[in-house]
Amino acid sequence: MAGSALLGEPPATHNDVLIYKALLMLNGTSYFPVPSESLVTDRPPDDSNSAPLVAATVVLMTLVILLTAARVWAQQYRKKRHFTFWVSNVFLFFSAMATLAYDSIVLHLYTQGCSGRHINYCTYEDIEQMSELLIVPQCIFYFAVYCAKLSIISFLRGAVEHTVEWWNLANAIFFGLVVFIGLWSLLSTICTCVPVAAHFSLIVLATTDPNSYHCLPELRLQVANRTLHIATDLCLFMFPLFLVWRVQISWQRKILFIVPFTLGLLTVASSIGRNVEMPEALTDVSWNISRVSVWDFLDIHFSAMLMSMPFIMPLIDRTVRWYRERGPDLAWRCEHQLC
């Protein structure tokens, strides 16, 4: 049985014919080009740029697992276990699991498909697989990052609930706003086109009546959703600044409280970088998608890891204080070969 043909060559299987028809229906309005002979005659060298991204994925998956486990372990020692901290843990779990699911899909995309190679070396079946796996991770991405935001908001409510009078109302309003924006981003990504299934599969699109297929401008919609993501991140990471200014605690503890949230500004920078790179990636999507994936990876993993930082920072503080108290004595003992 013949395998799938390379994009630009005559279709070799029934699925190839359907995918070819779908690409003609899209007529260059999607991420993928219309098949043409130039894809065969003007091929660049067959290289791959996926290896660094695969290695980074494995490292970041490990960090997410370790930091999430560290947060669960650290929370055992909390004297006060407020209900909002348990709510924060629920959102933490969903976000961490979604992040790992995102990583698994991307690993499959870059190890089994043609992602990381030039579009000229993708088969019709590769394009079908990529059309599915480029959209599904985006849906998971929005679910993960907005669960991370809700986890942080829940943590902040429990941390300072009885310290600042107006905080409960502001927190509830912001929580509801983030839920609304998160649902909008998720649903608008899933339901960009009608019928929905045709947006996820070129084979389904080929069997759909062209007159019944309608789509919103996908690139503009994603830029708008990322802008909302950036705006909510900025608001979220500005909150601790106002809280620290009002709460009467030492400057050392203020810095300890702020540091994890300032790290969240890296997610903002990642979203901005993604919006800048996306238009440039459409010329050779299978090759250039790694440039976009890098920013998405930083964004989703910084969000997942940031949730655990407020719980881990006190452990770091205790470790530093313990070393300051015991460090000189330990150094003396080791110097005299007593340790």
C-alpha span between 303 and 298 (Å, rounded):
8
Q: Distance between alpha carbon 310 and the CA centroid of its chain, in Å?
A: 20
Q: What angle do CA 66, 52, 129 make, to 5 degrees?
A: 95
Confidence at residue 236, expressed as pLDDT on a 0 to 100 scale = 82
Q: Which two tokens stand for residue 332?
A: 């003396």
The stretches in the chain having pLDDT less than 70 are: 1-2, 28-31, 33, 36-43, 74-85, 159-165, 240, 242-257, 259-263, 281-282, 309-339
Helix (H, G, I), strand (E, B) or coil at 215: strand
Q: Where are the domains of the chain?
A: 49-309
Confidence at residue 176, expressed as pLDDT on a 0 to 100 scale = 93
Count of alpha carbons within 13 Å of 22, Cβ hemisphere only? 27
C-alpha span between 264 and 237 (Å, rounded):
7
Q: For residue 11, what are the β-bridge partners? A: none
Q: Using an 8 Å Cβ cutoff, are 277 and 291 in contact?
A: yes
C-alpha span between 177 and 313 (Å, rounded):
28
Tens-place pLDDT, residues 195-231: 888 888 888 888 888 888 888 888 788 889 989 999 9
User: At which residue do the structure tokens 């949730």 appear?
Assistant: 307
Burial of residue 334 (CB within 10 Å: 0-12, 13-18, 19+) is: exposed
Confidence at residue 146, expressed as pLDDT on a 0 to 100 scale = 93
C-alpha span between 191 and 195 (Å, rounded):
8
C-alpha span between 36 and 18 (Å, rounded):
16
Confidence at residue 101, expressed as pLDDT on a 0 to 100 scale = 92
**Terminal C-alpha separation, the chain:** 70
Cα torsion 16, 17, 20, 26: sign: negative
Q: In 3D, which of 306, 321, 278, 293 has the Cα closest to residue 103?
A: 293
Helix (H, G, I), strand (E, B) or coil at 82: coil
Cα torsion 203, 206, 208, 213: sign: positive
Confidence at residue 327, expressed as pLDDT on a 0 to 100 scale = 47
Q: Using an 8 Å Cβ cutoff, are 87 and 152 in contact?
A: no
Q: Which two tokens stand for residue 242?
A: 């106002």
Count of alpha carbons within 13 Å of 334, Cβ hemisphere only? 6
What pTM was estimated for this model as a whole?
0.81
C-alpha span between 337 and 138 (Å, rounded):
57
Confidence at residue 126, expressed as pLDDT on a 0 to 100 scale = 85
